[in-house]
């Protein structure tokens, strides 16, 4: 009789869970930020306007945040 060899598959379910949780958290944080921005504009009696300078500043801050998040695993 030939013995059958069982090959264990690596558990990759953590990857999908991480992506889903990250997506949900990101969406909630984005919605919260938009809510805060619109409330502040409403309190000031102005419209929310995104200038190119503010867009670049936001992009640089987000790049720094992502860089910080990526360095969490480098302990």
pTM of model > 0.85: no
Q: How confident is the model at residue 75 (pLDDT cuts 50, 70, 90)?
A: low
d(CA 31, CA 38): 11
Which tens digit of pLDDT belongs to each residue from 3-41?
A: 677 777 778 888 999 999 999 999 999 999 999 999 999
Phi-psi region of 45 (alpha: psi -120 to 50; beta: other; left: phi over 0): left
pLDDT of 50 over the 90 cut: no
d(CA 58, CA 64): 10
List, in order, residues 6 or more apart from 38 with CB less than 8 Å away: 48
């Amino acid at each position: 009789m030939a013995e059958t060899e069982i090959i264990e598959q690596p558990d990759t379910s953590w990857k999908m869970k991480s992506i889903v949780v990250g997506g949900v958290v990101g969406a909630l944080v984005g919605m919260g930020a938009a809510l805060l921005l619109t409330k502040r504009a409403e309190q000031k009696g102005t419209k929310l306007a995104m200038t190119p300078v503010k867009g670049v500043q936001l992009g640089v801050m987000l790049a720094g945040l992502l860089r910080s998040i990526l360095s969490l695993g480098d302990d």
